[in-house]
């Protein structure tokens, strides 16, 4: 080989190596955090340039904020849910397609969970005040709780997009399902902006698409009594969602007893059959509502979820973890003392 040829080869190699290197590397993952829906929402996006990811996140966050404004019973602004809650009993109220569909899903889950999930605990939740500022420090009076207990099935669809509340205390509160729905819609926005690999984590409600650099997304499940500690972890399959509910999210201690924000619709008091629950499903709204339902039902809710193809676990107050078969197959425990 002549000196000229050698020089030429070196030159080609020098040019070639950075090109190879650049094409082998996908863009850096983008992490962004926003505060909304009363929690920190974390976006993780892989596989697109930062500018694309940031545009997609802005669109997703905008969509989630829209849903929060439209569906929350808290805050100063009026919305269709608050208007419905002020409508006299047994009077038709017409909702748009979006709320009609979500309510239909919520009412179906109410029936399937034996009224453990109740989408019309609005007056009771306001009485407890876990979502108010300042948060409560003592339970309400027993009589007041009893007065505001809504009957199971008090929310009725009377016709096309038409809904009625059957009793005065029957007021919609979508707090147990709307966050899941919001991250679902947020994810749809990311997809519309060309994102194919992403996680949205809204304080334990997680939606996913694609994977993490060719590997499945690995999700830690929070320990309900060890801040920063994990119970275990699982790998998400394509486009799965995982939701965890716990009595550590919003609570106060009163006379040595913990009072938290997931209420048993039969008693009107915080549910006692679990301290943490996790559900994996194809849709985040479904996983969200069922993790709340399972929290009220306790371990006896695991089998119905197995029948519906959802992996689920319950942590009981003594710390024992009970799983359905679908969860046992994929749960990796983390031994802690
Ligand atoms: P988080 O919002 O902390 O993730 P959940 O998804 O379990 O927790 O939802 C709790 C919220 O759902 C409460 O703040 C309240 O608005 C509502 N809620 C409380 N108890 C019930 C219940 N039994 N059924 C349906 N919604 C409930
Ligand atoms: Mg929920």
CB-ligand 1 contact for 201 (6 Å cutoff): no
Distance CA 76, CA 95 (A): 20
Is the confidence at residue 294, as pLDDT, over 70? yes
**Bridge partners, 33 (sequence order):** 42
The pLDDT assigned to 27 comes to 78
CB 97, CB 69: distance < 8 Å: no
- Check: pTM over 0.85? Answer yes or no: yes
CB 294, CB 309: distance < 8 Å: no
Q: What is the DSSP letter of 80?
A: H
| pLDDT tens readout for residues 210-268 | 999 999 999 999 999 999 999 999 999 999 999 999 999 899 999 999 999 999 999 99
**Bridge partners, 212 (sequence order):** 215
Is the confidence at residue 20, as pLDDT, over 60? no
Is the confidence at residue 191, as pLDDT, over 60? yes
Whether the ω angle into residue 107 lies within 30 degrees of 0, i.e. cis, is: no
CB-ligand 1 contact for 129 (6 Å cutoff): no
| pLDDT tens readout for residues 84-101 | 999 999 999 999 999 999
Selected residue with higher pLDDT from 255 and 334 = 255
Q: Which domains does the chain have, with CATH numbers?
A: 74-174 (1.10.3980.10)
- Tally of CB atoms within 10 A around 263: 26
Ligand 2 is an ion; its neighbours by CB within 5 Å are 176, 288, 292
Q: Evaluate the CA torsion angle 285, 134, 118, 253 in order and state its sign.
A: positive
Q: What is the DSSP string of 93-126?
A: EE--HHHHHHHHHHHHHHHHTTTSS-TTBHHHHH
State the distance from the centre of ligand 1 to the C-alpha of 190, rounded, in angstroms. 26
CB 221, CB 278: distance < 8 Å: yes
CB-ligand 1 contact for 245 (6 Å cutoff): yes
How far from 257 is each of 253, 272, 319, CA to CA, in Å? 5, 11, 17
Distance CA 28, CA 50 (A): 8
Query: Quick check: helix, strand or coil at residue 33?
Result: strand
Nearest one of 180, 163, 39 to 117, comparing CA atoms: 180
Place of tokens 């009589």: 143
CB-ligand 1 contact for 179 (6 Å cutoff): yes
State the distance from the centre of ligand 2 to the C-alpha of 163, rounded, in angstroms. 22
- What phi and psi values does residue 214 have, to the nearest 5 degrees? 85, -10
Distance CA 287, CA 241 (A): 7
State the distance from the centre of ligand 2 to the C-alpha of 288, rounded, in angstroms. 4
Distance CA 147, CA 41 (A): 36
Q: Give the pLDDT band of residue 25 (cuts 50, 70, 90).
A: low
Hey, whose CA ends up nearest to atom 7 of ligand 1?
A: 292
């Amino acid at each position: 080989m002549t000196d000229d040829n050698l020089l030429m080869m070196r030159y080609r190699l020098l040019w070639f190596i950075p090109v190879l290197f650049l094409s082998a590397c996908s863009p850096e993952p983008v992490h962004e955090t926003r505060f909304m829906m009363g929690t920190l929402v974390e976006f993780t996006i892989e596989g697109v340039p930062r500018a694309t990811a940031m545009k997609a996140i802005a669109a997703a966050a905008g969509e989630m904020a829209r849903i929060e404004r439209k569906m929350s019973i808290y805050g100063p602004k009026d919305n269709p849910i608050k208007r419905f809650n002020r409508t006299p009993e047994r009077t038709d109220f017409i909702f748009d397609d979006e709320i009609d569909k979500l309510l239909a899903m919520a009412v179906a889950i109410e029936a399937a969970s034996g009224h453990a999930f109740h989408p019309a605990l609005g007056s009771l939740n306001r009485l407890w005040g876990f979502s108010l500022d300042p948060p409560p420090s003592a339970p309400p009076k027993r009589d007041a709780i009893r007065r505001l207990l809504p009957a199971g099935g008090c929310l009725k669809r009377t016709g096309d997009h038409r809904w009625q509340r059957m009793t005065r205390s029957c007021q919609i509160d979508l707090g147990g399902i709307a966050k899941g729905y919001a991250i679902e819609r947020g994810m749809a926005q990311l997809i519309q902006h060309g994102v194919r690999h992403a996680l949205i984590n809204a304080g334990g409600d997680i939606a996913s698409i694609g994977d993490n650099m060719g590997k499945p997304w690995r999700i830690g499940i929070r320990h309900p009594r060890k801040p920063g500690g994990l119970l275990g972890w699982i790998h998400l399959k394509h486009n799965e969602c995982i939701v965890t509910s716990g009595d550590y999210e919003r609570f106060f201690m009163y006379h040595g007893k913990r009072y938290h924000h997931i209420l048993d619709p039969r008693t009107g008091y915080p549910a006692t059959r679990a301290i943490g629950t996790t559900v994996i499903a194809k849709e985040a709204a479904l996983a969200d509502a069922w993790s709340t339902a399972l929290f009220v039902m306790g371990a006896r809710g695991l089998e119905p979820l197995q029948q519906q193809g959802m992996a689920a676990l319950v942590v009981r107050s003594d710390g024992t973890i009970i799983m359905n078969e679908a969860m046992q197959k994929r749960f990796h425990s983390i031994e802690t003392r």
